[in-house]
Amino acid sequence: MSNISASKIGNRAGRTLNPQRLAQFSAIVQAGSISKAAQALGCGKSVLSRQLAKLEAELGARLIQRSTRRLTLTEIGELVFAEAQHIDMAMANIEQLTAGKRSQQQSAATLAPQGLATPLNQCSSGSGSGRYQAGLR
């Protein structure tokens, strides 16, 4: 988040930004509503709404101005969304780069710890593992 000053997002010292919540925020913006994003991600509206609220608390800033009829990005929300798009693109690029290597490594995967990879379109109410969940386009 190089374009976002610490003063705009509050003091995050000692707090960890949850990348999955950032991906969920991106999905909400792209879908145009929490309801549509929840449907696309396969989770409940209330779960997704809580995750958005937690992300805003993590950042110390409101990202989306909610009304009964529409969602509007705040100034900081626009900046965070732009950065989230960069992360989405980077994750997609990494996924593409490694796609050819997966089949070779699958035989060795039985030796690796299980649960390191999670579905890219997962909607979870948990704290997450800290890995960014891409593919929310």
Mean pLDDT in the chain?
76
Helix, strand, coil % (nearest 5) of the chain?
55, 5, 40
Model confidence, pTM? 0.66
Among 29-33, 126-130, 131-135, which is the least confidently predicted range?
A: 131-135
Residue 132's SS3 state is: coil
Going by pLDDT thresholds of 50, 70 and 90, the confidence category of residue 45 is very high
Contact 83, 1 (CB under 8 A): yes
User: What mean pLDDT comes out for the span 29-47?
Assistant: 95
Average pLDDT estimate for 1-23? 61
Q: Rounded to an integer, what distance in angstroms lies between the CA atom of residue 53 and that of residue 43?
A: 16
The pLDDT tens digits of the residues spanning 54-101 come to 999 999 999 999 888 889 999 999 999 999 999 888 888 898 888 877
Of 105 and 91, the structure prediction assigns the larger pLDDT to 91
pLDDT band at 10 (very low <50, low <70, confident <90, very high): very low
- The answer to whether 114 touches 62, Cβ cutoff 8 Å, is no
- Please report which confidence band the pLDDT of residue 113 belongs to, taking 50, 70 and 90 as the band edges: very low
